[in-house]
Amino acid sequence: MYTPWTYNSAPTEIIIRNSTMNSDEQQQLKSWLYDIATDRDKNAFTALFSWFAPKIIQFGIQKLNTESAANELLQETMTNIWRKAHLFNGDKGEATTWVYSIMRNLSFDMLRKVRSNREDTLSEDIWPMAEAQLVQEDSFDDHLMSSNLLKNIDILPEAQKEVVKGLYLEEMSQEQLATKLAIPLGTVKSRLRLALIKLKQQIGESK
């Protein structure tokens, strides 16, 4: 199983073949994800589910060998998409890459359960990117600050407005705000993320 890979080959930058996904399709997937994130949009989720399901089943059968395991992978992947859509950042990558990472992580943990009889979920530590990419960009960039973004603050639900005001008008840190509002830091970050998506949609930067 373990081929003796050469161990000190100097890596070069890998050239990737042209993707067979067209950009309209990628835009459509992104837009469904944004609708799920901001509005819990069931039609968008239904569309996204139908688009990904056959391919996830196919991947599951290849990696996990049985149809029942593939079905479990589908269920888990789609549940994660439904609950984590607000963590997707379309500026950083395609929807397909994000969904693939979620699916691969779940499949890794399922495989590990079979091979090593362990119920741990190490994938989240091994591939923290899906969530971690947010931690690095959990603030508005200058370009957005200088735009009219904050003028649209009134379209936001109260909870998100409170977070944006605290961070950008009262200039509190995320930690200070979490303490003041008595909510976990993660909730501050999630609300900020949702507010960002919504405000960007408003001025037509996303979608």
Partner 1 sequence: MITHHPHYELLNAYVEGELPASLSAGIAVHAEMCEICAKNIQRITEEAAANTFSDDANVYNSLSKKVITDKAFDNISEFDLMMKSIMEDDSITEMMTQEPLDVEIKGTTYPLPTALRSMAMMGWQKLGKLSRARINLNEGSLHTSLLHIDKDGGVPSHTHKGFELTLLLEGSFEDEKGTYVKGDFIWLTDKHTHTPHTKEGCLCYTVADDALQFTQGLSKLLNPIGKFIY
Enumerate residues 177-206 that contact partner 1 by CB under 8 A. 184-187, 189-190, 193
b or e along 104-135 (b: 16 or more beta carbons within 10 Å of the residue's beta carbon)? Answer: bbbbbbbebeeeeeeeeeebeeeeeebeebbe
Tokens representing residue 110 in the block: 């399922």
The answer to the question of residue 139 lying near partner 1 (CB under 8 A) is no
CB of 194 to partner 1, least distance (A): 9
Alpha carbons within 13 A on the beta-carbon side of 192: 24
The answer to the question of residue 75 lying near partner 1 (CB under 8 A) is yes
The answer to the question of residue 42 lying near partner 1 (CB under 8 A) is yes
The answer to the question of residue 158 lying near partner 1 (CB under 8 A) is no
Binder among 23, 24, 116, 142 for partner 1 (CB under 8 A): 116
Alpha carbons within 13 A on the beta-carbon side of 80: 20
Q: Reduced to 3 states, what is the DSSP secondary structure of residue 55?
A: helix
**24/143 with CB nearer partner 1:** 24
List the interface residues with partner 1, window 16-35 (CB under 8 A): 16-17, 19-21
**103/149 with CB nearer partner 1:** 103
Residue written as token pair 């991947």: 59
**27/71 with CB nearer partner 1:** 71
Q: Which stretch binds partner 1 (CB under 8 A): 65-73, 139-147, 149-157, 163-171?
A: 65-73
Residues in the chain: 207
**Residues sharing a CB contact under 8 Å with residue 31, sequence separation 6 or more, in sequence order:** 44, 207
